[in-house]
Amino acid sequence: MSLSVLNAGQNYYIRGGSEQYQFALTELLESHGHQVTPFAARNSKNRATPYSQYFPQGTNFDNPSIQDLMQFVYSKPANDAIQRLLGEVTIDLAHLHIYYGQLTTSILKPLQKAGIPIVQTLHEYKIICPVYTLLSHGEICQACEGKDFWHATRKRCNRGSLARSALSTLESYTSKALGSIRKIDHFIAVSDFLRNKVIDLGLPANKVTTIHHAFDASGIEPNIEPGEYFLYFGRLERLKGLFTLIEAAAPLKDIPLLIVGDGEARLELERLIASRDLNHIQILGFKRGQDLENLIRNSICTLIPSEWYEPFGLTLIESFARGRPVIASKIGGIEEIVTHNVDGYLVSPGNVEQIREQMLWMAQHRSMAVEMGLLGRQKVENLFSPEMHYEKLMKVYQKVL
């Protein structure tokens, strides 16, 4: 059965793990003979595609006008754009990702009216939390209980700002009223942890299936040589535990720590590193392609010191694929990927001493670290292959068609 699938998210460039998965999904579906149509907001960073003619004008989050604030809640440009696309392109099924903010729930009614089944992959907790993270001021928070979103305003959960928090609250109530749960035929959770969490906070259990992310390691040769430095790669945000990581690495001056990525916390991290003369810690900025490949391959191990309910942790299997072990927080979906003392180490979130202890062990036992990384590579091949992912995905698609 060949399908025409709409693959929709707010960005058509890689900003984080959700976009990375979107592009991987396109490749996977097309490799099995399906037609994939992307749909996202316009942005100068977008990859080239003939379908960009259907992309709506994006919302300016950096310097928002009143119109931008209104579009954040409900985007008429996105509604108009999806209607035009559906009038000119045949779509059998819509697969949504993080579509809030830029596309909004304005796209749901046209899809439903056209009789198109809708599947959504949940990459975070937006469906039950106005600020996506189940965090409030750096602490785990479930005050809204998946429905009472006014708590986000009361607690000023969005960056401590009353205005931002009120806007997030309004958007969550509007999205739910416009069908963010009701109009989605089936949800895909990227981990059992995420699935259980959204069910606990209100989603019907029969509408949520777990499908872990996949990674095609077939063209990657794992590195069997010991590494030279510690590596973090991903978004630079406080919830990722980077300030804890710097504290843990601060006294380990003989072993470099390379931090790869960009994000809201970058400037603050750079100032901290400079103020303490931590010359062995470097922030390299965003990397991709062969540059990132080489950085992962030549590391001793990679670190994922998250301090939020990490839904999955795509960087974990990216590290395993190159034969690198991980040191990761025992939180969220991470525990479903890392086997403690086998292919990596799990540490308590925010625990500086545990992270430092495991970093020292990895540095002092680099050959054993290689062996752990190779066990991780076997796990990627056995549990996270694209073909396994495709089979599970097709079962969900067939359920809603």
- Largest separation between any pair of C-alpha atoms in the chain: 62
The domain tally of the chain equals 2
Task: Examine residue 378 and state whether it is found in any structural domain, yes or no.
Answer: yes
Task: Examine residue 241 and state whether it is found in any structural domain, yes or no.
Answer: yes
DSSP designation for 207: G
The answer to whether residue 1 scores a pLDDT higher than 90 is no
Same-domain pairing of 250 and 378: yes
Model confidence pLDDT, tens digit, residues 27-63:
999 999 999 999 999 999 999 999 999 999 988 887 8
Same-domain pairing of 343 and 354: yes
Q: The CATH number of the domain where 360 resides is what? A: 3.40.50.2000
The answer to whether residue 239 scores a pLDDT higher than 90 is yes
Position 200, amino acid = D
The answer to whether residue 142 scores a pLDDT higher than 90 is yes
Question: What confidence tier does 203 reach under pLDDT thresholds 50, 70, 90?
Answer: very high
Question: How far is Cα 94 from Cα 7, in angstroms, rounded to an integer?
Answer: 6
| Mean pLDDT across 6-25 | 92
At residue 181, the pLDDT reads: 96
Task: Examine residue 163 and state whether it is found in any structural domain, yes or no.
Answer: no
Task: Examine residue 54 and state whether it is found in any structural domain, yes or no.
Answer: yes
At residue 133, the pLDDT reads: 95
At residue 378, the pLDDT reads: 97
Output the pTM of the full model.
Answer: 0.93
Task: Examine residue 172 and state whether it is found in any structural domain, yes or no.
Answer: no
Quote the tokens at residue 102: 């830029």
Please report how many Cα atoms fall inside a 13 Å half-sphere around the Cα of residue 196, on the Cβ side.
Answer: 7
What phi, psi does 38 have (nearest 5°)? -80, 155
Same-domain pairing of 375 and 288: yes
Mean pLDDT of the chain: 96
Question: What confidence tier does 229 reach under pLDDT thresholds 50, 70, 90?
Answer: very high
| Mean pLDDT across 133-139 | 94
Same-domain pairing of 188 and 286: no
Which domain does 206 fall in, by range? 4-127+180-214+385-400
Task: Examine residue 357 and state whether it is found in any structural domain, yes or no.
Answer: yes
Question: How far is Cα 14 from Cα 20, in angstroms, rounded to an integer?
Answer: 6
Same-domain pairing of 330 and 194: no
Same-domain pairing of 390 and 374: no
Same-domain pairing of 315 and 340: yes
At residue 14, the pLDDT reads: 87
β-partners of residue 38 are: 7
At residue 389, the pLDDT reads: 97
| Mean pLDDT across 119-135 | 96
Same-domain pairing of 203 and 288: no
Same-domain pairing of 210 and 254: no
Same-domain pairing of 210 and 318: no
Task: Examine residue 248 and state whether it is found in any structural domain, yes or no.
Answer: yes
Same-domain pairing of 243 and 338: yes
Same-domain pairing of 194 and 279: no
At residue 60, the pLDDT reads: 84
Contact 320, 339 (CB under 8 A): no
The answer to whether residue 325 scores a pLDDT higher than 90 is yes
The answer to whether residue 135 scores a pLDDT higher than 90 is yes
Task: Examine residue 26 and state whether it is found in any structural domain, yes or no.
Answer: yes
Position 147, amino acid = K
Question: What confidence tier does 66 reach under pLDDT thresholds 50, 70, 90?
Answer: confident
For residue 275, count CB atoms less than 10 angstroms from its CB and return exposed for 0-12, middle for 13-18, buried for 19 or more: exposed
Question: What confidence tier does 16 reach under pLDDT thresholds 50, 70, 90?
Answer: confident
Question: What confidence tier does 144 reach under pLDDT thresholds 50, 70, 90?
Answer: very high
| Strand residues in 206-251 grouped as ranges (E) | 208-210, 229-233
